[in-house]
Structure 1
């Protein structure tokens, strides 16, 4: 079984991720209140974290998406 990891960073007030990162290994831990630096918005504060896990029926592949929602202070 293989797992694909995707990290999506959402800018304040936007419903689509402008920063998306893919990996075959898990990303480090994030917490609400942490600051992150992205390619498009510079330094931002994490205000909400969501997860989405899916598997196509009959497939050995799992996808784990971590969605980071941010605010600019």
Structure 2
């Protein structure tokens, strides 16, 4: 699965992350940067007086893979 991980500096200068799943993996850096600026300008996310996504910091496409270590056993019907 691919996800877009956006990192922002909050108004408290700490780094906050926003991960969006099922995104178009072919977004251009300019499109993502524009989106991040819009999120920061909107100031939609705040907690205890701290704006969580105040300033864009970084963006990454994150790919996750699943590797089975133990396979599930079929259920045995009760007699």
TM superposition score category, shorter chain reference: 0.3 to 0.5
Q: TM-score, normalised by structure 1?
A: 0.36
- Bigger proportion of residues as strand: 1
- Bigger proportion of residues as helix: 2
